[in-house]
Structure 1
Amino acid sequence: MNSRRLYAGTVIVLLAAVLVIAAKADPERIRTQQHLEYNTDVEDKNLSIKPEDFSSHLPVVEINTDGQTIPGSPAKGQLVSEVFNTYITAHMSIREKEGKLHTLSQKPDIDSDVQIRVRGNSSRRFDKKGYLFKFTGDDMQQKDYAVMGMEKDSTWVLNGPFLDKTLMRNYMWYNLAGEMMEWAPDVRFCEVFLNDEYQGVYVMMEQISVGEGRIEVSKYDGKAGVSSYIVCVDRQSVNDGNYLDNFTFYTGRLQSRVEVKYPGSKKLNSDITNYISRDFSRFEKALYSYDYDSKRYGFRSDIDVDNFVDYWIINEVSQNTDAGIYSTYFYKDVGGKLKMAVWDFNNCCDNYMETQTSMAGFFLQDRPWFFMLMKDEGFTNQIIVRYRELRKSVLSDEYIKGYIDDVQNYLGTAIDRNFQVWGYSFDEEHELLMGEGRHIGSYEAAVEQYERRLISRLRWMDQHIEAIRFYSHESKNKRYNH
């Protein structure tokens, strides 16, 4: 009888394991890597950036503003926080069909009006602008398009790598995050023309928003008293007004504000704002209480711990030091647990403009939320185990080096075209990275610095990852523990 029970128990365990593996191997979650799959066999040797002679193996985006200036850049002497976010109507054409070079004379695959503005924070001052745009129809209503093989949506980001001279930080880290986490924004390289002038290599990116293939949560119907939500911690802007009250003592010390990104302003009302405020506050109150690590009252009943662990690893490995204070996104489905979404790796891997980032040390333990999460032994142990696991796969030296090499080779002559316009950024007098010894004089040097820094960081973490146990040790946290 005991042997039968043992056999039955073994079968159940094996079936459960198969179901878990099947769930993790969901084909809908397989991430498209453009540099491995799109036009990899299309020969691209043309260096011309003249509209009539141009061709590229990358998708090509053409924007025509009919003489209007795209708004959103700060005027001389104006703070970025003082810029009012208005849009203009422009026209956008996209050539993206696979299997051939793209030219501006070809029939567009997508041809639509857009509402467009400059986006970003410090990057708004760069010569190469980034843009937020929304496809619109004749009735000015937003219209969804499946751009470059990504899921249909109306709202998109065109990220213009300028400070990042490798051109690949956002592309690479969104894709790596997408291999590790449930969701990260999808991305594609492209080249952009604005009013018949070549603008260089850009990254077309999904906006963090609710929708199929994006953050898949229950949509708010405008009637219920509860809702799924997305909130963002960032600098306060002039006309983004859906802010929540500050909650715990620690969050209140931020120079940032917590803004509701979903539901949007058309559906957001005081009842839903108050609901989101109370819900997010409940998590923070649990986290900053003496019961933060208890099974019944602690933070684990409110957050997806695996998600927070991966967020920590991605941002610590890349030393994305804006994480936790700026461009920090949380999302939650009704009845689900709070999760985080990665965003903006422009400054990672010692590419922060104002100061050099030290190779040694960790930073997220000093940021809101992680300040308390890192006091939990279970959380720090989970980070260590997960980090060791990832070092055997997507964070291995071989994978990282191969990824960087493959992206550089894929971009090919698009790199040369890009720096025909932006090559002056390699001149020492135009260097944006402040501090002695930080000048990067060529694209090759930029890639070499990026790879060397990233591999060195990973090897430093290999030696010191166990040290994060210090943050959760009883001797350090006596006054926080019940």
Structure 2
Amino acid sequence: MKSKWVYVGAVLLSLLAVLGIAKFIEPENVRVQQHLSYNTEVEDTNLSIEPSSFSSHLPVVSIETEGQTIPGRPETGQKVSQVKNTFIRAEMKIIENQGELNTLKDTPQVESDIQIRVRGNSSRRFDKAGYLFKFIDEDGMDEGYEVMGMEKDSTWVLHGPFLDKTLMRNYMWYNLSGQIMEWAPDVRFCEVFLNGGYQGVYVMEEQISVGEGRIEVTEYDGKSNMSSYIVCVDRESVNDVDYLDNFTEYTRRMTSKVEVKYPGARKLTPEITDHISRDFSKFEKSLYSYDYKSKRYGYGDFIDIDNFVDYYIINEVTQNTDAGIYSTYFYKDITGKLKMSVWDFNNCCDNYMEYQQSMAGFFMQNRTWFFMLSKDEKFTEKVIDRYRQLRKGILSDDNVKTYMAEVQEYLGGAIDRNFQVWGYTFEAQNDLLQGEGRQIGSYEEAVEQYEKRLVSRMGWLDKHIDALYSYSHESVNKKFND
């Protein structure tokens, strides 16, 4: 049996600390990574996707809707549906036998009613849907469950890799981000059946929410007009949403809106919304003031700078171009500083559907909040120093190449099963990536393209990272510093 738990690393660091050596080693957050903790004696050679004969080394999720259509697909004549608050009631079973293959005949570890809908933005029109669901009790109230070794909660995301033919972008970058940052959503691979039909490989993901093992902040007591909060910057919805009247909403004329995700709608009063608007705007005003770099009045009093630096690097490395515009999350403890969380790497590393990205250049310095942060030479210096540190460890060429190879090996037969259903996307006429030379003909080619792009991108950054200083040079920032 081979168990490659990252806990071993934590124990080793503890021993080295006693010897006074640990200070020379890059710290990493302890994080269970599914592909490093499996039993290799369990052989997954059965490629059948028929319910009666199916088996897998991955956890299995079975969803039954009793003939109902899961809502959330684009409506007739619409490119993307923005309606996100309609759910149906369904039943879910999760089967995960420790150290054995999983079949639909096995006793489920989790069996519960759920509320479920299709999730995403542009991905809502993909043939392979992604889902948001909540475990509920008989009365329809939220009920938390531990899922695949992840912390107990009621709300989860089932991400269905479709545009990402490697199947691993979200899994990989949530895990690597979780090693780099204080927190990132936990993830597990699984295979999904819907009403008895095989749907392929999915990634079970923690939603960005407040709770033990998720974002741990002081929870709202239901009495005060002040609260810890989570906000999301995203496309405007047709739902009845009270968006924040934050400072950059007007000064930058943002194309996206800032929505409060915590506290939830049941607890969110106009007074709390006003508190969050004012609190978030304090940071923005400090950032866009002439004192933005000062110790007394500057942005440093409002944000966790190291957290923002890590967010910047991760998204710049992966060229995750939605970052800072859409699917962008901030969170803040009522007694702490503002932090950011990564989310959604489906389009990263030149997997953006509409056009091919240039491997060269920077883009994060143009994002609303980083536009001003990049004008501070101290912030820029932190980005450059941290990038070089990460390139010696978590983001080294060897580490990312090994990571991809190990994930591919771990998925094994699940890859073949997945593309029994979705293999038509390897045909040129069905490839969604637009532009010459972007069509991918096989899974192996998809992984090769992904690896080559990521390594080349970091190689370019190695040579040009010091050019970030040009954005904070006095000569180009006189009007912001006078």
Measure how far apart 1:30 and its partner are: 1.2
What is aligned with 2:5?
none
Counterparts in 2 of 1:287 and 1:24: CA distance versus 1, 3 Å: farther
Change (3 A) 1:457 1:344: same
Name 1:284's counterpart in structure 2.
284
2:351 alignment partner, SS class: coil
TM-score normalised by the chain length of structure 2:
0.94
Equivalent residue, structure 1, for 2:406: 406
The answer for the alignment partner of 2:216 in structure 1 is 216
Per-residue deviation, 1:358: 0.4
Contact in 2 for aligned 1:81/1:236 (Cα 8 Å)? no
Instruction: Give 1:126's aligned residue.
Output: 126
Matched AA of 1:463 = K
Q: What CA distance in whole angstroms lies between the structure 2 residues aligned with 1:257 and 1:291?
A: 26
Give the TM-score normalised by the residue count of structure 1: 0.94
Q: Does 1:466 align with 2:463?
A: no
SS in 2 for 1:230: strand
State the secondary structure of the residue aligned to 2:151.
Answer: coil
The aligned counterpart of 1:304 is 304
| CA shift in 2, pair 1:228/1:406, >3 Å | same
Distance 2:181 2:21 in 1: 15
- CA–CA distance in structure 1, aligned partners of residues 290 and 236 of structure 2: 31
Q: Which amino acid is 1:444 matched to? A: E
- Separation in structure 2 between the aligned mates of residue 153 and residue 38 of structure 1, nearest angstrom: 24
Is it true that 1:334 corresponds to 2:334 in the alignment? yes
Q: CA deviation at 1:79?
A: 4.1
Contact 1:51 1:198 in 2 (8 A): yes
Q: Which residue of 1 aligns with 2:275?
A: 275
User: In the alignment, what sits opposite 2:245?
Assistant: 245
Distance (Å, rounded) in 1 between the aligned partners of 2:370 and 2:345: 19
Report how far residue 42 of structure 1 moved. Answer: 1.4
Mark the CA change 1:251 to 1:422 in structure 2 (over 3 Å): closer, same or farther.
farther
Q: Which runs of 5+ in 2 are unaligned?
A: 1-16
Partner of 1:101: 101
Could you say which residue in structure 1 is the equivalent of 2:364? Answer: 364
- Give how far 1:139 is off: 1.5
CA contact (8 A) 2:72 2:81 kept: no
Q: 1:75-474 to 2 correspondence within 5 Å? A: 75-83=75-83, 85-239=85-239, 241-248=241-248, 252-474=252-474
Matched AA of 1:269: T
Partner residue, 1:73: 73
Q: How high is the sequence identity, in percent, across the aligned residues?
A: 71
The whole-number CA distance in structure 2 between the counterparts of 1:23 and 1:397 is 23
Give the superposition deviation at 1:68: 0.3
The root-mean-square deviation of aligned C-alpha atoms, in Å, is 1.9
Q: Which amino acid aligns with 1:64?
A: E
Deviations, residues 332-382 of structure 1 (Å, cap 9, x unaligned):
001100000000000000000001110000001111000000000000000
The answer as to whether partners of 1:134 and 1:142 remain within 8 angstroms in 2 is yes
Q: 2-side partners of 1:172 and 1:70: how far apart?
A: 28
Task: Report the Cα offset of residue 240 of structure 1.
Answer: 5.3
Structure-2 separation of matches of 1:204 and 1:236: 26
Q: Does 1:51 align with 2:51?
A: yes
* C-alpha separation in 1, matches of 2:355 and 2:382: 31
Give the structure 2 partner of residue 6 of structure 1: none
2:255 aligns to what SS in structure 1?
A: coil
**In structure 2, how many angstroms separate the alpha carbons of the residues matched to 1:34 and 1:299?**
38
- 8 Å contact kept, 2:42–2:100: yes
> In the superposition, relative to structure 1, how do residues 410 and 367 fare at CA in structure 2: closer, same or farther (>3 Å)?
same
Change (3 A) 1:23 1:149: farther
Deviation sequence 1:168-224 (CA, Å, 0-9, x none): 000000000000000000000000000000000000000000000000000001101
Deviation readout 1:434-470 (Å, 9 max, x if unpaired): 1111101110100000000000001000000010000
Residues 273, 21 of structure 1: CA spacing in aligned structure 2 closer, same or farther, 3 A cutoff?
A: farther
Q: Residue 81 of structure 1 contacts residue 237 of structure 1 at CA under 8 Å; is this kept in 2?
A: no
How far apart, CA to CA, are the structure 1 residues paired with 2:462 and 2:137?
52
Structure 1 residues 364, 28: closer, same or farther in 2, change over 3 A?
closer
Counterpart residue type for residue 339 of structure 2: K
Cα drift, residue 225 of structure 1: 1.7
The C-alpha deviation readout for 1:367-426, integer Å capped at 9, x for no partner, is: 100000000000000001100100010000100000000000000000000000000011
Structure 2 Cα separation of the partners of residues 454 and 258 of structure 1: 31
The answer (yes or no) to whether the contact 1:61–1:94 under 8 Å persists in 2 is: yes
Contact 1:61-1:190 within 8 A present in 2 as well: yes
* Partner AA of 2:329 in structure 1: Y
Is residue 248–residue 288 contact of structure 1 (8 Å, CA) maintained in 2?
no
Q: Which amino acid aligns with 1:142?
A: D
How big is the shift at 1:22?
9.5
Aligned to 2:41: 41
Q: Count the aligned residue pairs.
A: 464
Tell me the secondary structure at the aligned position of residue 184 of structure 1: coil
Distance 1:251 1:150, change over 3 A: farther
Instruction: Give the C-alpha shift of residue 38 in structure 1.
Output: 2.9
Residues 85 and 238, structure 1, Cα contact 8 Å, conserved in 2: no
In structure 1, the gaps of 5 or more residues are 1-16
In the alignment, which residue of structure 1 is the partner of 2:64?
Answer: 64
Quote the Cα distance in structure 1 between the aligned partners of 2:427 and 2:224: 57
Q: CA deviation at 1:243?
A: 1.1
1:81 deviates by 4.4
Tell me how far apart the structure 2 counterparts of residues 28 and 225 of structure 1 sit (CA, whole Å).
Answer: 37
C-alpha deviation, 1:80, in angstroms: 2.2
| Aligned-partner Cα distance in 2 for 1:173–1:463 | 23
Mark the CA change 1:248 to 1:84 in structure 2 (over 3 Å): closer, same or farther. Answer: closer
Give matches, 1:23-42, under 5 Å: 29-42=29-42
- 2: distance between equivalents of 1:261 and 1:203? 22
Task: Tell me the SS of whatever aligns to 2:451.
Answer: helix
CA-to-aligned-CA distance 1:134-191 (integer Å, 9 cap, x gap): 0001111111000000000000000000000000000000000000000000000000
> Which amino acid in 2 is paired with 1:160?
G
Relative to structure 1, the CA distance from residue 28 to residue 467 in structure 2 (aligned partners, 3 Å threshold; closer, same or farther) is closer
3-state DSSP of counterpart to 1:286: helix
Q: Distance in 1 between matches of 2:127 and 2:429?
A: 15
> What is residue 7 of structure 1 aligned with on the other side?
none
Partners of 1:38 and 1:98 within 8 A in 2: no
8 A Cα contact 1:133 1:155, kept in partner: yes
Matches of 1:144 and 1:91, distance apart in 2: 15
Aligned mates of 1:225, 1:278 — CA distance in 2? 12
- Maintained 8 Å contact 1:427/1:441: yes
